[in-house]
Amino acid sequence: MELKQCGRSGLYLSALGLGTLTWGRDTDGPEAHDMLKAFVDAGGNLVECSPAHGDGMSVDVLSEGLSSIGRHRVALVWRGAVRRAGEGTWVTAAGRGDLLRSLDDALARLDTDYVDVWLVEPRPEVPLEETLEAATLAQRSGRAHYVGLSRASHWELAEAVTRGILGACAPITVVEAPFSLANASAAQTIAELSGRGVGVIAASALAGGALTGKYRHTTPADSRAASPHLRHMVEPYLEGHPRTVIEATSRAAAGLERSTGDVALAWVRDFPGVSAALIGPRTRRQLDTLLGYSEPLPAPIRQVLAEVAGPSCVAR
Q: Tell me, what's the pLDDT at 214?
A: 76
3-208+263-298: what fold? TIM Barrel (3.20.20)
Q: Are 34 and 284 in contact (CB under 8 A)?
A: yes
Instruction: Using the predicted structure, report yes or no on whether residue 21 has a pLDDT greater than 80.
Output: yes
Among residues of the chain, what percentage have pLDDT more than 90? 81
Residues paired with 18 in a beta bridge: 47, 279
Q: Where would I find the beta strands (DSSP E) of the chain?
A: 3-5, 12-14, 16-19, 46-49, 75-79, 82-86, 89-92, 115-120, 144-150, 172-178, 199-203, 274-279
The mean pLDDT of 138-152, rounded to a whole number, is 97
Q: Tell me, what's the pLDDT at 311?
A: 79
CA 275 to CA 268: how far, in whole Å?
10
Q: Is 240 left (phi over 0), alpha (psi -120 to 50) or beta?
A: left
The mean pLDDT of 132-141, rounded to a whole number, is 98
The mean pLDDT of 225-235, rounded to a whole number, is 56
pLDDT in tens, 259-280: 999 999 999 999 999 999 999 9
pLDDT in tens, 82-117: 887 766 677 889 999 999 999 999 999 999 999 999
User: In the chain, count of helices (H) and strands (E)?
Assistant: 10, 12
Q: Which of 13, 43, 21, 3 is nearest to 200 (CA)?
A: 13
Instruction: Using the predicted structure, report yes or no on whether residue 209 has a pLDDT greater than 90.
Output: no
Length of the chain as a residue count:
316
What is the average pLDDT score of the chain? 91
Of residues 232 and 153, the one with the higher pLDDT is: 153
Q: Domain segments of the chain: what residues? A: 3-208+263-298
Instruction: Using the predicted structure, report yes or no on whether residue 220 has a pLDDT greater than 50.
Output: no
The mean pLDDT of 212-233, rounded to a whole number, is 57
Among residues of the chain, what percentage have pLDDT more than 70? 92
| pLDDT band for position 226 (cuts 50, 70, 90) | very low
